A = this chain, B = another copy of it.
């Protein structure tokens, strides 16, 4: 009877294993907005390799870090970064507060309303507008101002607030990673304080996990003696290109295990992520869906645009380095939560 006893126990053990495993098998697809294909497979394989105890690629939970570019990777960046729209729309209020600016370029051109002339403003002038409209107020005032603007403003194409123009497939990746112990960071060329205003509600990413281009602040006291911080135009961190790995080291101090981007500004972040030991994931979103979103970059045959330059050289490096290119057209079944 010894054998039968063992067999019975073995069967019970097997049943227990099946029951334990059942939630995994029975689990609904964590990436329902993704079509089956190499991109989805790469994400699932990465999670399995890094979270399976005993796997050679296993990463201890406390060191699991994933970095996401924002503009063009988590939400729409065309035809203009929403933060740049914000800055332009802030110019009239700025000029009202400081009338002397009305005669000074580039504010004069912006106030003229001449769209052609505004579109031609060189990068240097754009930086002046950003610095002037993103500084000079307290960090609390700035938060209130951005929050109000986001609530009032709609994207002209979809007639939705910008914060609804996030890509549902990427929202699923954020959640899937977090459900597997990853801390998800936004690593953006956009303004750190700007993105922090809505990142928690929009992406589930708290302020301390937003790494972005940042200016300094200045500590001071109000009339009531209470201390507050004023935003200064002095640039502390230019979180683009090589600035992304530099910003990651500065703010996080660990190399990410996974990184997601969509433009040449993300190249160094992806290189840096991939250069670490063990299983690594590097992905690039390719905007090749003119009907559901936009098409720009090499695979489309269209010239690169000012924002989100996905150059042919970047495409070639992706292929060479084993980064996975995500085709919006082929890999994403749905793009926005508000669309079927």
Residues of A within 8 A of B (CB): 62, 139, 192-193, 196, 206-208, 210, 214, 216-219, 226-229, 236-237, 242, 245-246, 249-254, 268, 271-272, 275
Contacts and interface: CB of A to CB of B under 8 A. Distances in A.
Nearest to A206: B62
Contacts of A236: 236-237, 250
Given A208-B254, A226-B275, A236-B250, 11 more contacts: A207-B253, A207-B254, A217-B246, A217-B249, A218-B246, A219-B242, A219-B268, A219-B272, A227-B275, A229-B249, A236-B237
B250 A214 contact: yes
Most buried by B among A208, A251, A253, A268: A253
A216 B216 CA distance: 14
Pairs of residues from A and B, 5 with the lowest C-beta to C-beta distance, nearest first: A207-B253, A219-B242, A208-B252, A226-B275, A217-B246
Contacts of A219: 242, 245-246, 268, 272
Contacts of A254: 207-208
A218 B139 CA distance: 29
A214 B217 CA distance: 16
Identify whether the interface residues of A are mostly helix, strand, loop, or mixed. Answer: mixed
B217 A251 contact: no
Nearest to A245: B219
A22 to B, nearest CB: 30
A250 B272 CA distance: 23
A219 B244 CA distance: 9
Nearest to A226: B275
Contacts of A62: 206
Contacts of A250: 192, 214, 216-217, 236
Contacts of A237: 236
Contacts of A218: 242, 246
A193 B193 CA distance: 24
Contact of A253 (B208, B216, B226, B246): B208
Given A216-B246, A219-B242, A268-B219, A193 B253 contact: yes
A260 to B, nearest CB: 18
Contact of A207 (B216, B246, B252, B271): B252
A249 B139 contact: yes
Contacts of A192: 250, 253
A302 to B, nearest CB: 30
Contacts of A217: 246, 249-250
Contacts of A229: 245-246, 249
A139 B252 CA distance: 13
A200 to B, nearest CB: 8
A193 B251 CA distance: 11
A105 B237 CA distance: 32
A214 to B, nearest CB: 6
